[in-house]
Structure 1
């Protein structure tokens, strides 16, 4: 069964803090269900390359499975080599899409952005478009490395850069040339 997370988020937008807490408790009980853990364990083999979801970066992370225990797994992050002891439910064994798109037409939502994404915005001080790599997700802003400057930008003015790598010159990986306006 596939869950439409955008619909779930939309449904919970108007829930009270207490209602959200009750949903959290119910979900935690489901996550701790031994039957669910067993279903995940059946798909795992030591040495296997897996993916887990890092909520701080709001992005999937590639790792190698080192050890399976009763309720947790030991993995090694492929990018930095760090080892992490994670609960089974963090593992994306079904390769489910992790982006939750609830766009309302203006800007982006925090859950739509991950650390390392390339985003754009129009700077209010000079009206020029800028592009940068996400360094950090803050409660109200995103910290972007725009090559020459680091910017804190409101989520409401951000836009995704589509196929950023195709138009990036090698000497300036955050500047996009030719991808927004075709040559004439």
Structure 2
């Protein structure tokens, strides 16, 4: 499924249309057939991938236990334990990205994930890079070597390669704003 095309179609929908569709999707995700389908394909100890909508990114985790409506997992990256709905499990190894490289479309909230490297132009039109900390409706909170910045989407650009800031050495930060 091409998520970008779906989102482009949804932009034409009214707020009520989106709400009604959201209700139908919520009911569909909770159907017992979908839960059983995941339970049949997953085993305790198996490493799975799941999509976290709040951080807009995918994680690897080990299955620890089956619940009636939630799957118990332990994340591979930090060992933290979570209970996730079965519908979050990406069994088909589907590409979860919405952005398409090289399409020259502006970056949106759907293109970003927490922890992702991103570049931006500051008030003096200088290029900076940092790590996405928070995704807001109109702007993104980014942690850089010089502090935290709130940056409007129109000032963002993808970071492809190079010497970028990963945020690991940051101890104290100042708050900055762009646009």
Q: TM-score, normalization: structure 2?
A: 0.84
| 2:107 pairs with 1:108 | yes
Q: After superposition, what is the alpha-carbon deviation per residue over 1:66-102, rounded to whole angstroms, capped at 9, x for unaligned?
A: 0112322111122232221111001111111111127
Q: After superposition, what is the alpha-carbon deviation per residue over 1:144-165, rounded to whole angstroms, capped at 9, x for unaligned?
A: 1111221111111101111x3x
Cα drift, residue 173 of structure 1:
4.7
C-alpha RMSD over aligned residues: 2.0
Q: After superposition, what is the alpha-carbon deviation per residue over 1:105-148, rounded to whole angstroms, capped at 9, x for unaligned?
A: 45310010001111111222x22111111111122111111112
| 2:134 pairs with 1:139 | no
Structure-2 residue corresponding to 1:168 = 163
Structure-1 residue corresponding to 2:32 = 34
Kept in 1, the 8 Å contact 2:131–2:166? The answer is no
Q: TM-score, normalization: structure 1?
A: 0.82
| Corresponding pairs, count | 166
1:93 aligned counterpart, secondary structure: coil
Kept in 2, the 8 Å contact 1:51–1:62? The answer is yes
2:18 aligned counterpart, secondary structure: helix
**Unmatched segments (≥5 aa) in structure 2:** 168-179
Between the aligned partners of 1:69 and 1:122, the Cα distance in structure 2 is 47
2:61 aligned counterpart, secondary structure: strand
Q: Mean Cα displacement is larger for which, 7-16 or 93-102?
A: 93-102
Kept in 2, the 8 Å contact 1:119–1:159? The answer is yes
